[in-house]
């Protein structure tokens, strides 16, 4: 079974292909993706690699965590499950009203 790894502190110049090549030195890679900003298209400085087997994933963490890739010292760890993002802090009310106060009047 494949295990997903988080790779942090990537150079903005690192591509998904470059990330794949670095991890293929350890073992077969199922997927490698550098995460980019949806608006600018620029790398967000992290990515995910899915290794073909759990043992290869464990080896990748041991061998690549703290090493240099494209001039940056990368962090490699097992990826955590994505958290529920239902409440993104938008204007959902949250117990506050849209009453901006006022009243009182007066002449200008």
Measured distance CA(78)–CA(12) in Å, rounded: 22
- We report the CATH number of the domain holding residue 11 as 3.30.70.330
Q: Block means of pLDDT (10 residues each) for the chain, length 108 residues? A: 92 97 97 97 97 96 98 97 72 54 58
What separation in angstroms does the CA of 95 have from each of 12, 21, 98, 99?
A: 41, 51, 10, 12
The one-character DSSP state at 71 is T
Q: Is residue 43 part of a domain?
A: yes
- Helix, strand, coil proportions of the chain in percent (round to 5)? 20, 30, 55
What local confidence, expressed as pLDDT, does residue 44 receive? Answer: 97
Q: Is residue 56 part of a domain?
A: yes
Q: Is residue 34 part of a domain?
A: yes
What local confidence, expressed as pLDDT, does residue 82 receive? Answer: 81
What local confidence, expressed as pLDDT, does residue 85 receive? Answer: 72
pTM of the predicted structure, to 2 decimals: 0.76
What local confidence, expressed as pLDDT, does residue 84 receive? Answer: 81
Q: Give the domain extent around 58.
A: 3-78
Strand pairing report for 68-69 and 72-73:
antiparallel
Q: Are 43 and 34 in contact (CB under 8 A)?
A: yes
What local confidence, expressed as pLDDT, does residue 89 receive? Answer: 60
Q: Are 78 and 3 in contact (CB under 8 A)?
A: yes
What local confidence, expressed as pLDDT, does residue 83 receive? Answer: 83
């Amino acid at each position: 079974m494949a295990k997903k790894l988080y790779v942090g502190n990537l150079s903005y110049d690192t591509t998904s292909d470059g990330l794949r090549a670095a991890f293929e030195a350890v073992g077969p890679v199922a997927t490698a993706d550098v995460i980019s900003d949806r608006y600018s298209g620029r790398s967000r400085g992290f990515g995910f690699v899915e290794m073909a087997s759990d043992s290869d994933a464990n080896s990748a963490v041991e061998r690549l965590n703290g090493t240099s890739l494209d001039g940056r010292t990368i962090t490699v760890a097992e990826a955590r499950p994505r958290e529920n993002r239902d409440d993104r802090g938008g204007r959902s009310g949250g117990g506050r009203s849209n009453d901006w106060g006022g009243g009182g009047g007066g002449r200008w």
